[in-house]
Amino acid sequence: MAAAPAQQPAAGLPLEALLEECPWAVTADKIDAVVARLVAVASPLQLIAFGSAARGPLEGANDLDLLVVEPTVANRYSEVVRLQKALRGLLIPVDLVVSSQAAYNQRCHVPGTLEFTARTEGRVLHDSL
């Protein structure tokens, strides 16, 4: 038995209409909620959006890629898990990368690194420096 064809969003619809059809869509309200939660639990120095959210409109990006710069980080992977837990319940796909301020400062001038891309092409969503 053949599977039913997947429904495609109607071409020509305005962005707002398409976002309403996708409960997991990246929206300004959800981005604000992500920033607020991360600031509350991590007190980051900076939150920098990179990837598709930095190259075009934040709303309508397929996910939110965020570099979280903290004063110090004992274990980057444990910190990512802790921060992802803080984002539970938000219907938004978020990819987090955590860096200490020292590591960020060292790598943000090295072409080819994520930190360089975030510094040169990213959008700063939070800055406490």
Q: How many domains does the chain have?
A: 1
Asked if residue 55 belongs to a domain, the reply is: yes
Q: Residue 52 — pLDDT band, cuts 50, 70, 90?
A: confident
- Decide if pLDDT at 121 tops 90: yes
Whole-model pTM? 0.81
Asked if residue 26 belongs to a domain, the reply is: no
With residue 55 as reference, give the H or E element that holds it: helix 52-55
Asked if residue 2 belongs to a domain, the reply is: no
**What is the domain extent for residue 54?**
44-127
Asked if residue 11 belongs to a domain, the reply is: no
Strands 123-127 and 46-50: antiparallel
- Decide if pLDDT at 84 tops 60: yes
pLDDT of residue 14: 62
pLDDT of residue 56: 75
**Which residue has 């300004």 as its token pair?**
28
Asked if residue 13 belongs to a domain, the reply is: no
DSSP class of residue 60? T
- Decide if pLDDT at 30 tops 50: yes
- Decide if pLDDT at 2 tops 70: no
Read off the CATH number of the domain in which 112 is found: 3.30.460.10
Asked if residue 39 belongs to a domain, the reply is: no
Gap between the Cα atoms of 127 and 46, Å rounded: 5
